[in-house]
A and B are shown apart, each in its own frame.
Chain A
Amino acid sequence: MSVETSKISFGKSGLFNKKIFNELGSFTGLLIIGLVFSITTDNFFTMNNLLTVALQTAYICLLAIAETYVIITSGIDLSVGSILAVSGVICGKLLLAGFGIPLSMLVAILVGGLCGAINGLAISKMGIAPFIATLGMMSIGRGVANVITDSLPISGLPEDFFFIGGGMVLESIPVPVIIMLVVAILFAFILNRTAFGKYVFALGSNEDAARLSGVNIGMTTIGVYAVSGLLSGLVGVMLAARLVSAQAQAGLGYELDAIAASIIGGVSPMGGAGTILGTIIGAFIMGVLRNGLNLLNVNAFWQQIAIGVVIIVAVYIDKLRRK
């Protein structure tokens, strides 16, 4: 990645910016998919179903935002699905021990952040490749969640807890969708308007140049993976809330959905480029596709094929556009 590209990326990629044109491609794709399902099914384009899609996609969206930060630094985080399971079961155990909903959630999310920070430490201080470090954490996290629960569901949680994972505001807007929007705006702001955000892009564009310009590579790396861990922890808590029961098996394989959503949304797998808005569109392309294919009652195996094809086509279109 040339220095020139990194200059372009600095401070200009984000939720609302001049490079909105870049998102136009994937957004058009989303609209086309939506249009096709609106015509082919009776129930796709209804308020009820669109809110359901938003609710189903909110969780993957949050994980994809985490993944966006990591991939912009030219890293990858394979442990988000396992970290969310750890946070979920810790939250469940604390709730059963009577610590109350806010405190249990806070501690669980912080534990997620801690797991992420450990990833960052392993990558920056021990010099382990992100793929390997987070692969290790993926196994460790899943193991910890299984050990804590003996791989049994943690049930009997307070029914009030449900609000965070599936409650409604104004009788129709799901709480996870609101959380997703707030987090998206916050993290787009951090990415575009703060020094930390600039370091994230600098790290992914050209690590040596960034180091020479005085960017603290170690702290930035730890920070990025800690952010990823915190968001995974948040999702873990929300998923446990949705079922009012925490599972050690929660989030199995979600890291792949999150990575796919970021890539479809135009985050460069080489690092240095990506936007939160693009990622959200990417997540919704996957969410709408799954929902629409379910509504069409398409065979589950064909759905897997369709999603794989969309990932490859989306990335190819993105590549063509960038040339």
Chain B
Amino acid sequence: MKKVLSIMLAVFMVSVLLVGCGKSDTAKTADSQSADAGAKKKIAIIVKGTENVFYQSVKAGADVAAKETGVEYYFTGSSAGETDINGQVSLVENAISQKVSGIIIAASDAKALVPVTEKAIAAGIPVIVIDSGLQTDKYTSFLTTDNVAAAGAAGESLAKMLNGKGKVAIVNFVAGAQGAIEREKGFKDAMAKYPGIEVLQTQYYNNDKQKALSLTQDILTANPDLDAIFACNEPGTVGVGRALKEKNNRKIIEIGFDSSDDIIPLIKDGYLKGTIVQMPYNMGYLGVKAMVDKLNGKEVVKNQDTGFTFVTPENMESPESQKALYPLGKNN
């Protein structure tokens, strides 16, 4: 019995160790000329999920920046995915004990990751935050999409499509989330510049595509004279688009936020008239560049907007849109 127990314990410990390490792959760069003599700088890039297309694009950007600057980096994330906050904390601890030169992190939780990142900073390892915010101000730089500006640009484009007058509905993902508030504000501020545009009461779909779909049906029934709907993230953009597709309604102008394999066909079929696509590639590229600058003692901007691309059915074949829609190439 004791023997069995000890074997089980051993297996358990090994598996915990394996899980804790997560998936990581190290990219080595051959070019070492620009690196300092002696020890080469090594950066840990810790994301929410390594398989996620979004973070794969971050990695693609980091790859290019690392080659240009001659640093090494490893790319990792908890294999249990975005919700495994403890797993991500362990990955940061691992990076600290490995004495990496710097950490770039997309935090799974804005609060839970604060103590461990502050521990890294206290140990002299600079931290750069990408994609999702971290509730501390001790990091070197924060690179993400400026939601207010991006949603504002979407609103301006819609106002042009409407010639400055019409009735517009907003469906948002969840009441009170930072991103949701920023996107709604950016869009509404843009709409407010046009007195001919009426904006309806914001409705929420709690990140549920089915609810976004039902909500859209009800909004269309209640407002037969509706001209446009703005959906604030991926589930909403898909739900609204599917509702329009069910009714074969191409008259309503849908403006969305984000891109995915479910969203691209909606643009192609003409239901989605425009969507804001974030640039994770820039987060990786500019993130590594900023880290190298910091390590070389240069001044780094505290907040950096990584930009966006507004993809429409008309411009979706352009190289810029294609790069935004398929950051890893079409086969991915």
- A residues near B (Cβ < 8 Å) are 41, 43, 46, 48-49, 52, 56, 59, 146-147, 150-153, 155-156, 166, 239, 242-245, 247, 249-250, 252-253, 290-291, 294-301
Contact of A300 with B81 in the complex, beta carbons under 8 Å? no
Contact of B201 with A299 in the complex, beta carbons under 8 Å? yes
**Complex CA distance for A239 and B246, rounded to whole angstroms:** 14
- Please tell me which one of the listed residues B81, B202, B242 contacts residue A150 in the complex, with CB atoms under 8 A apart: B81
At the interface, yes or no: B227 with Cβ under 8 Å from chain A? no
Contacts of B208 in A (CB 8 A): 249-250, 252
Contact of B238 with A243 in the complex, beta carbons under 8 Å? yes
At the interface, yes or no: B203 with Cβ under 8 Å from chain A? yes
Contact of B213 with A242 in the complex, beta carbons under 8 Å? yes
Contact of B242 with A56 in the complex, beta carbons under 8 Å? no
The CB with the most chain A CB atoms within 10 A, among B208, B210, B224, is that of: B210
**Complex CA distance for A265 and B292, rounded to whole angstroms:** 64
**With A155-B261, A249-B207: A146-B83 Cβ-Cβ less than 8 Å:** yes
By secondary structure, the A interface counts as: loop
Contact of A294 with B219 in the complex, beta carbons under 8 Å? yes
**Complex CA distance for A168 and B83, rounded to whole angstroms:** 38
Contacts of B206 in A (CB 8 A): 252-253
**Complex CA distance for A149 and B274, rounded to whole angstroms:** 27
At the interface, yes or no: B326 with Cβ under 8 Å from chain A? no
- Please tell me which one of the listed residues A46, A249, A252, A300 contacts residue B175 in the complex, with CB atoms under 8 A apart: A300
Closest chain-A Cβ to B211's Cβ sits at a distance in Å of: 10
Contacts of B261 in A (CB 8 A): 153, 155-156
At the interface, yes or no: B217 with Cβ under 8 Å from chain A? yes
Contacts of A297 in B (CB 8 A): 200-201, 222-223
Contacts of B52 in A (CB 8 A): 150, 152
Contact of B262 with A245 in the complex, beta carbons under 8 Å? yes
**With A239-B210, A242-B213: A43-B203 Cβ-Cβ less than 8 Å:** no
Closest chain-A Cβ to B139's Cβ sits at a distance in Å of: 26
Contacts of A153 in B (CB 8 A): 238, 260-262
By beta carbon, the residue of chain A nearest B214 is: A56
Contact of A152 with B222 in the complex, beta carbons under 8 Å? no
Contact of A52 with B218 in the complex, beta carbons under 8 Å? yes
**With A152-B52, A294-B203: A247-B222 Cβ-Cβ less than 8 Å:** no
- Please tell me which one of the listed residues A56, A59, A146 contacts residue B81 in the complex, with CB atoms under 8 A apart: A146
Contacts of A295 in B (CB 8 A): 218, 221-222
Contacts of B202 in A (CB 8 A): 300
Contact of B238 with A301 in the complex, beta carbons under 8 Å? no
Contacts of B215 in A (CB 8 A): 294
Q: 14 other contacts beyond A242-B242, A290-B218, A294-B215, with CB at 8 A cut-off? A: A52-B218, A59-B210, A150-B51, A155-B262, A166-B246, A239-B210, A243-B213, A244-B242, A245-B209, A245-B238, A245-B262, A247-B209, A299-B201, A300-B201
Contacts of B175 in A (CB 8 A): 300-301
Contact of B242 with A243 in the complex, beta carbons under 8 Å? yes
B: contact size bracket: 35 or more
**Complex CA distance for A156 and B81, rounded to whole angstroms:** 22
A-B contact list, 19 entries, CB within 8 Å? A43-B224, A151-B49, A153-B262, A156-B261, A239-B210, A242-B210, A243-B210, A245-B262, A247-B235, A249-B208, A250-B208, A252-B208, A290-B218, A291-B218, A295-B221, A295-B222, A296-B222, A297-B201, A300-B201
**Complex CA distance for A239 and B235, rounded to whole angstroms:** 14
By beta carbon, the residue of chain A nearest B49 is: A150
Interface string of B221-257 (1 = CB under 8 A from A): 1111000000000010011001000100000000000
Contact of A294 with B222 in the complex, beta carbons under 8 Å? yes
Contacts of B201 in A (CB 8 A): 297-300
Contacts of B213 in A (CB 8 A): 242-243
**Complex CA distance for A153 and B237, rounded to whole angstroms:** 13
Contacts of B235 in A (CB 8 A): 247, 249
At the interface, yes or no: B60 with Cβ under 8 Å from chain A? no
Contacts of B112 in A (CB 8 A): none
Interface string of B170-213 (1 = CB under 8 A from A): 00000100000000000000000000000011111011111001
**Complex CA distance for A153 and B265, rounded to whole angstroms:** 14
By beta carbon, the residue of chain A nearest B203 is: A300
**Complex CA distance for A48 and B200, rounded to whole angstroms:** 22
Contact of B210 with A52 in the complex, beta carbons under 8 Å? no
Contacts of B153 in A (CB 8 A): none
By beta carbon, the residue of chain B nearest A168 is: B246
By beta carbon, the residue of chain B nearest A49 is: B221
Contacts of B246 in A (CB 8 A): 166
Contacts of B118 in A (CB 8 A): none
Contacts of A166 in B (CB 8 A): 246
For window 266-318 of B, CB contacts with A under 8 Å fall at none
By beta carbon, the residue of chain A nearest B261 is: A155
At the interface, yes or no: B114 with Cβ under 8 Å from chain A? no
At the interface, yes or no: B93 with Cβ under 8 Å from chain A? no
Interface string of B142-165 (1 = CB under 8 A from A): 000000000000000000000000
Contacts of B223 in A (CB 8 A): 297
Contacts of B222 in A (CB 8 A): 41, 43, 294-297
For window 23-79 of B, CB contacts with A under 8 Å fall at 49, 51-53
Closest chain-A Cβ to B310's Cβ sits at a distance in Å of: 22
By beta carbon, the residue of chain B nearest A165 is: B210
By beta carbon, the residue of chain A nearest B246 is: A166
**Complex CA distance for A2 and B7, rounded to whole angstroms:** 53
By beta carbon, the residue of chain B nearest A41 is: B222
By beta carbon, the residue of chain A nearest B210 is: A239
Closest chain-B Cβ to A221's Cβ sits at a distance in Å of: 31
**Complex CA distance for A155 and B238, rounded to whole angstroms:** 11
**Complex CA distance for A253 and B206, rounded to whole angstroms:** 10
Closest chain-A Cβ to B255's Cβ sits at a distance in Å of: 20
